[in-house]
Structure 1
Amino acid sequence: MLRRHAALSAFSLVLAIPAHAQSSVTLYGIIDIGVSYANNAQTGVVNKTAVGGPQFALTDAHATGLSGSRWGLRGTEDLGAGLSAIFVLENGFLANSGALAQGGAEFGRQAYVGLSSPLGRITAGRQYDPLIDFVQSFAASGSWAGYMGAHPDDLDNLTNTNRINNAVKITTAKFGGFSAGALYSLGGIAGNATQNQIWSLGAGYTGGSFAFGAGYLNARDPNVSFYGNTPNKGTATTNNIGSGGSATSPQSYPVYAGYASARTLEILGAGTSYTLSGAVFSLAATNTRFDHLGSSSGPNPLGYSGNAVFTSIDLNVRYNVTPFLQLGSGIDYTHRNSVKGDDGAKYLQLDLAADYFLSKRTDLYLLTVLQRAMGTDSLAHPAVASIAGFSPSTTDKQIGVRIGIRHKF
């Protein structure tokens, strides 16, 4: 009898909660598809020589456009006293084929649950790191140039090539224009608390016409923890970053694929912007380090040791010609130090964009990216141009063009 009364009391309590709580679930998404052109794209590597030619393709924006296609569910429940339960489940897909993006993960873009209050929020799951939250918007790729406007091969991850699994994240509310965030991803390895761990910090300020942000990310064993966190990736014996190609496949991520054996990945970034008469002038800078090459984190067929360090500078401007037409232009320069006695590498890139809004939810856009590479890439070959989202060029130059349509719902 006592058990029965306890069960009835608990059931009554559960029924009473919805009477005071308010909850909502929102379905949202983006479909972004277009025709992309590269003047030169690899089709394979024969006798250590890249071969290829021009390429036309109908592709999802996940590869080269403004906003990777997605659908998601966002929910909140009012728990009272200013506290709310929140969640996000966000799936990425390829609109041209219907296939899953993010390496086949069901909710590869985001999947988290947490609590929110007037002071901030705490969430747990697969998430963006604070470096993305506070620096991404100042780069051309994070504002108007899309994935193909990323720094070569998205080497600093400012366009979310990789998310963070197993992460607990705290983000403050804005106080006087200032906010901050911190993230820690548990490696989950028995007996070694630091293996595969990732941590990140970020902070920013927005006030009037001026904005500023900075962030830092540190990933231990990045070939597994950072680049290997989707279903199509492998263990430490596999290069989860990219490859040197074959007779039937092109190279992938030649800018830094050779550094899979790094024990630690460090990315430090900062950016600022100023708005003046309809134009937003932005500057972003990142320093990406593949430290302690030659560790057991990933394969090292080229016998690298020491550190590979990339520095990128991105200067860009976007201008609203009319309420319906936005133009963008930017230039970025990337430099890498000498590794194992090579002559380093340099990449120079020009980004151009025009975006016409048919409505608040639908727009047509044109993107153009020109890139030139110099020096030696991470695969110990003469550096080839490698615009993010395209197969690398067979030469030191590459031009990418995309005409697309984007609809938000």
Structure 2
Amino acid sequence: MKIRINCLVICFGALAGNAYAQSSVTLYGIVDAGFTYNTNSGGHSQIALTSGNGAGNRWGLKGTEDLGGGLAAVFELENGFSIVNGSIGQGGTFFGRHAYVGLSSRDYGVLLLGRQTALSNDYVGRFASGSSWAAAGTGYGAHVGDIDNLVAVNRTNNTVKYRTPDWRGLTAAGAYALGGVAGDYTRNQIWQAALNYANGPVNLAATYLVAKDPNYSFFGNTAKGSATATNLGSTPAYAGFANAGIQSIFAAGGQYKLGALMIDAVYSNVQFSDLGATSVTGLTPKETAYRGKATFNTEELNLMYYLSPSFMVAAAYNYTKMVGPDGEHAHYSQVNAGARYFLSKSTGLYLVGVWQRAGGTDSTGKPAVATISSVTPSTGRSQLVVTAGLTKRF
């Protein structure tokens, strides 16, 4: 249950000595843990107690102050953590999930300043199984390596985000992340745009993101991010493209509700272009020599059915194809299946299985291996991850 503190601003602002309109602050969070089985974790099977599988563990504070005339001041601070060892999430970044302040207007929309999720996650992510029901906390069900950021592996720092009011079901949004580099305002900058339309059983959305120097601006913007080495992690599907000068992500999706059945579809196009433009240490000679661009195209069909208001079953299939700068081709087929049972409005059980099979040659120039997000890549073409656990919201 959320804890709310409602009072006049005088109860917050005794230091200021002023009383204005009514304000509220909410303390909230999610605590999630479960068991995960991996058939091939670097060549061995593995069973582990894992954190935040169904939904990412977090605690946060959010608040609003009514300024009158339909205008309000808003803020949110949200910290991710591991329940199995107590460590801070998002690369050791405190309040790494959200940290922003802004203004919300009934007539003019919302303006937010700070560290925030990308618009791809805000708008299109809800149609993808990996960011809704298929182990969304860990991202097991994400498209290979969360290549299109629909599960929000990456946030954006120094971001100004604006969302319009609702125009008969249509909303638009834009965001700009300042690079923060002295002498070169374009370095590490990120541009984003989004459109969303909702009318009855139909919901549609599309987003576009362009990140300069993505190894640092998009993948490396955490407390543990490196200022010189690769931040793309150990995902061989795209780790070899860390020296790209630009990353672009186009994502589109939609949902149609048919009674208890929800039919979702997602498409994304991701490009690592201007390869070789960003200096990154630790790459192999082959990866350092890449020039041109690499393209990833992904499609997903996601089906969810409520057997009852408290019991949902779901299945999804996604396929990703990569075309590399030197003619490399890789492909990843993935099946997600699962079920959720809600014991109450705030407590639920889940069971999710993710199977992936890879083929071709990946970004490292080696035979592609299965690489389910957030687990150690397989040593072979196939990999199966099964997780079951409990989610408690407060």
1:190 deviation in Å?
A: 2.2
What does the per-residue CA deviation read over 1:72-107, in whole Å, with 9 as the maximum and x for residues that have no partner? Answer: 000111111111110000000001111101011110
* 2:204 is equivalent to residue 219 of structure 1: no
Write the letter of the residue equivalent to 1:241: L
Q: Measure the CA separation in 1 of the matches of 2:115 and 2:365.
A: 34
Q: Match for residue 360 of structure 2?
A: 375
Write the letter of the residue equivalent to 1:171: R
Q: Match for residue 74 of structure 1?
A: 62
**Residues paired across the two proteins, number:** 374
> Unaligned regions of 5+ residues in structure 2, if any?
1-12
For residues 195-206 of structure 1, the aligned pairs below 5 Å read 195-206=187-198
Contact 2:28 2:60 in 1 (8 A): yes
* 2:277 is equivalent to residue 291 of structure 1: no
Q: Match for residue 182 of structure 2?
A: 190
1:156 to 138, 148, 161: 148
Q: Match for residue 46 of structure 1?
A: none
For residues 329-344 of structure 1, the aligned pairs below 5 Å read 329-342=315-328, 344=329
* 2:109 is equivalent to residue 117 of structure 1: no
Q: Measure the CA separation in 1 of the matches of 2:387 and 2:27.
A: 28
What does the per-residue CA deviation read over 1:237-257, in whole Å, with 9 as the maximum and x for residues that have no partner? Answer: 301112xxxxxxxxx211111
Q: Measure the CA separation in 2 of the matches of 1:261 and 1:273.
A: 36
Q: Measure the CA separation in 2 of the matches of 1:92 and 1:13.
A: 31
Q: Measure the CA separation in 1 of the matches of 2:240 and 2:88.
A: 27
Q: Measure the CA separation in 2 of the matches of 1:199 and 1:362.
A: 37
1:32 deviation in Å?
A: 1.1
Q: Match for residue 384 of structure 1?
A: 369
Relative to its length, the structure with more helix (as a share) is: 1
Structure 1 residues 13, 399: closer, same or farther in 2, change over 3 A? closer
Write the letter of the residue equivalent to 2:21: A
* 2:122 is equivalent to residue 127 of structure 1: no
Q: Match for residue 273 of structure 1?
A: 255
Contact 2:37 2:45 in 1 (8 A): yes
Q: Measure the CA separation in 1 of the matches of 2:322 and 2:35.
A: 32
What does the per-residue CA deviation read over 1:233-279, in whole Å, with 9 as the maximum and x for residues that have no partner? Answer: 111x301112xxxxxxxxx2111111000000000000011000210
* 2:222 is equivalent to residue 230 of structure 1: yes
Write the letter of the residue equivalent to 2:90: Q
Q: What is the TM-score normalised by the length of structure 1?
A: 0.89
Q: Measure the CA separation in 2 of the matches of 1:297 and 1:288.
A: 21
Q: Measure the CA separation in 2 of the matches of 1:68 and 1:296.
A: 32
Q: Measure the CA separation in 2 of the matches of 1:332 and 1:405.
A: 26
2:342 to 341, 353, 357: 357
Q: Match for residue 98 of structure 1?
A: 86
Write the letter of the residue equivalent to 2:296: F
Contact 1:115 1:123 in 2 (8 A): yes
Q: Measure the CA separation in 2 of the matches of 1:316 and 1:39.
A: 24
Write the letter of the residue equivalent to 1:283: A
* 2:125 is equivalent to residue 136 of structure 1: yes
Contact 1:34 1:404 in 2 (8 A): yes
1:192 deviation in Å?
A: 1.5
Contact 2:118 2:152 in 1 (8 A): no
> Unaligned regions of 5+ residues in structure 1, if any?
1-10, 43-51, 243-251
Write the letter of the residue equivalent to 1:388: S
Q: Measure the CA separation in 2 of the matches of 1:13 and 1:94.
A: 36
Q: Measure the CA separation in 2 of the matches of 1:283 and 1:298.
A: 36
Q: What is the TM-score normalised by the length of structure 2?
A: 0.93
Q: Measure the CA separation in 1 of the matches of 2:318 and 2:367.
A: 20
What does the per-residue CA deviation read over 1:179-201, in whole Å, with 9 as the maximum and x for residues that have no partner? Answer: 11100010122222211100100
Q: Match for residue 241 of structure 1?
A: 232
Write the letter of the residue equivalent to 2:185: A
1:13 deviation in Å?
A: 12
